[in-house]
Amino acid sequence: MRRVLSPDEVSSIAAGFGEIIGHVTISETIRIGSEGYEILIEVPHENYVKSPIRVGDFIGIVTLTGYVVLGRVIEVRRSHAAGISGRTPVFNVPMDYTGLETPATVLIEPLTECPLEEFRAGTCDPSPVYSPIDPLSIAFKPMGSAITRLLALPSDGVIIGKLYSGGRVVEDVDVKVPLHTLYEHVLIVGTTGSGKTTLLKNLALALVNGIRDSTVMALDLQGDYLHLVLPPDRDVEPRVFNPLGEITVITPVTRAYLKEYGNRIREFADEYVGDEVRDRSVTLMDVDEPSLFGEAVAYALLREFVERGYGGNAKIKDVGPEIDIDEGNIRIKGVSAMISIDNASFRLNLIPWALSFVSVYRELPRLFPVFSYRVGMVFDRVISLAMDLVNRRDLDCGERLSRRSTDEKCTGVLRQEAGQRTRQQTIVSDEQGTRQQVQQLDFDKMMSNTDCVELAAVCMRMASSQRENIIRGLNMIAGVGIMDVKWPQNHRFRAVFDEPTKYEDVPKGFVSVDLRLFRENPFAASVIVYRILDGVFSVRDLELKRGLEPKPTFILIDEAHNYFPQGGTDEEGRDTVEAMINRLTRLGRVRRIGVIFATHTPDDLNNLVLQLTNTKIALRSEESILERVGLKEYTNEITYAQDGVAIVKSYALRTHTIIMRALPPQVRHRSHK
In the structure, what pLDDT confidence band is assigned to residue 569 with cuts at 50, 70 and 90?
very low
What torsion do the CA atoms of 499, 502, 508, 510 make, to the nearest 10 degrees?
20
For residue 145, give Cα distances in angstroms to 112, 122, 149, 388, 596: 15, 11, 6, 72, 29
Q: What is the reported pTM?
A: 0.90
CATH superfamily, region 173-251+505-522+533-560+588-662:
P-loop containing nucleotide triphosphate hydrolases (3.40.50.300)
Q: Position 75: which residue type?
A: E
For residue 113, what are the β-bridge partners? 69, 127
> Where are any strands of DSSP class E within 600-670?
615-618, 645-650, 657-662
Q: Position 39: which residue type?
A: I
For residue 137, give Cα distances in angstroms to 24, 83, 103, 146, 278: 5, 27, 16, 17, 86
- Model confidence pLDDT, tens digit, residues 323-370: 999 989 999 999 999 999 988 999 999 999 999 998 899 988 888 888
Give the mean model confidence (pLDDT) for residues 9-18: 93
Backbone angles phi, psi at 579, to 5 degrees: -65, -40
In the structure, what pLDDT confidence band is assigned to residue 7 with cuts at 50, 70 and 90?
confident
Spans of all domains in the chain = 7-151, 173-251+505-522+533-560+588-662, 254-346+490-496, 358-484
- CA 368, CA 359: separation in Å to the nearest integer? 14
Pair 380, 457: CB distance under 8 Å: no
Q: Is the pLDDT of residue 371 over 60?
A: yes
pLDDT at 428: 42
Of 18-27, 317-326, 435-444, 568-577, the least confident: 435-444
